[in-house]
Amino acid sequence: MQASDYRNIERLDIELREGTSVFVGDNAQGKSNLLEAVYLLATMRALRAETDAQLIRRESLEGVLPAARVVGEVDTPEAGLKLEVTVMARPGSQGPIATKTVKVNGVARRLGDAIGRLTAVLFTADDLELVNGSPSLRRRFLDTALSQIDARYAATRQRFDKVLNQRNHLLKRIREGESRPDELQFWDEQLCNEGALIFRERAVAVAELRALAGACHALLAPGETLALEYQPRLPRPPSEWPSATTEDLAAALGAALRDGQPRDIAAGMTLSGPHRDDLTIILDGLPAAGYASRAQQRTIALALRLAEARLLTARRGTPPVLLLDDILSEMDAARRHSVLVSLSDAEQMLITGTDWDRFPEEFLTGASPFQVEAGTVRCVTPPAVKTED
């Protein structure tokens, strides 16, 4: 893997071997940036950034052609794969304006065509918000997994967003008396066509994730039970979501849009559809958002990510790269042990921590150890690790 002028990383050139790679360093040294660079190659999405320009190393923004570049060479069952993402910036009236481009095996591609060529699952401390945060975060969790599984889903999601924006714009014009309600018919049909597939794929995925997440959580926290429930935003949803056809779902959404048209016009926005879905997380029969402790939230979030990895493996036939950012913090020794045992069969995993003592000696045996400091990554020999009682 190579990177240049990405976040706080000026230059990076390391080999990430099969198995486990452990990255240790103090906070704000670049460990998270390294994992997010790998995740960028898989999803083409920037995390913890309001704009792509923020991916470019701050010190290089004053240069003539400031750019961040991330390159990964991947061994796949079919053939070798080289992915390259470049973010270039140009001056704008309110700050740098960035353009993101991608190459696959040296050939320029659209971003949508590159998503899912490499699959990856990333866990960060922000994932605790999957439990307590807004529904948009849980929708993004589902959408990111499904986009890596199926390029058709990613394209449908993008088209849906464009149609939704057009419909919302028209609703505001109707509210202001500048357009007529009958002009909604075209956008309603488009929204139903795109939205039906999103509804169906999410419903099927949640049905699979329910079992996978429950099994993963049982390994991490024996004695606790985790369940997931899909909550589609339709007033009259079909009784059997996973078995419903796209025609059924399109008809249900069409009826909801017609019935809710006066309310939508008054609000100036579309209030029914997959953009309003939620995923309910239940721990021991109670809503996790209101009852789970912080340690339990961390375990739930990790179980969701491990379930996502198993779903990708089942659907794609090859396991994703696991990217685990400081997963062991705020966990007692018993829970840390359960977590590391659950990860023992990962084909490739990149895991970070602030101290070598967080990792038992047997876990580090055979792993590739790296020290991260001020954006520099170097292979090291970890110090002797104390055995936990």
Residue 267 clears pLDDT 60, i.e. is over it: yes
pLDDT value for 348: 95
User: What is the rounded average pLDDT of the residues 303-325?
Assistant: 96
Taking CA atoms, 80 is separated from 20, 73, 106, 118, in Å, by: 21, 7, 12, 11
Average pLDDT in the chain:
92
pLDDT value for 166: 98
Annotated domain spans of the chain: 1-119+320-389, 127-317
The CATH topology of domain 127-317 is: Glutathione S-transferase Yfyf (Class Pi); Chain A, domain 2 (1.20.1050)
pLDDT value for 164: 98
The CATH topology of domain 1-119+320-389 is: Rossmann fold (3.40.50)
- How far is the C-alpha of 4 from the C-alpha of 300, rounded, in Å? 35
Helix 184-220 vs helix 135-149: crossing angle, to nearest 10: 90
Rank 76-85, 138-147, 342-351 by mean pLDDT and report only the highest. 138-147
165-219 confidence digits (pLDDT tens) = 999 999 999 999 999 999 999 999 999 999 999 999 999 999 999 999 999 999 9
- What 280-287 contacts at long range (C-beta under 8 Å, 24+ apart), as own/partner pairs, is 280/228, 280/229, 280/230, 280/231, 281/130, 281/131, 281/138, 281/226, 281/227, 281/228, 282/226, 282/227, 282/228, 282/229, 283/224, 283/225, 283/226, 283/227, 284/224, 284/225, 285/225
Q: pTM here?
A: 0.92
- How far is the C-alpha of 377 from the C-alpha of 372, rounded, in Å? 5
pLDDT value for 384: 66
User: What is the rounded average pLDDT of the residues 216-240?
Assistant: 87
Same fold, 1-119+320-389 and 127-317: no
- 100 forms beta bridges with 87
Could you say which DSSP state residue 258 is in?
A: H
CB-based contact 56:87 (threshold 8 Å): yes
59-105 confidence digits (pLDDT tens) = 988 887 899 999 999 988 777 899 999 999 988 888 888 999 999 99
21-73 confidence digits (pLDDT tens) = 999 999 999 999 999 999 999 999 888 888 899 999 999 888 878 999 999 99
Give the confidence band of 324 by pLDDT, cuts at 50, 70, 90: very high
Residue 141 clears pLDDT 90, i.e. is over it: yes
Residue 94, both tokens: 């309110």
Q: Which of 187-191, 234-238, 295-299, 322-326 has the lowest mean pLDDT?
A: 234-238
pLDDT value for 350: 97
Residue 389 clears pLDDT 50, i.e. is over it: no
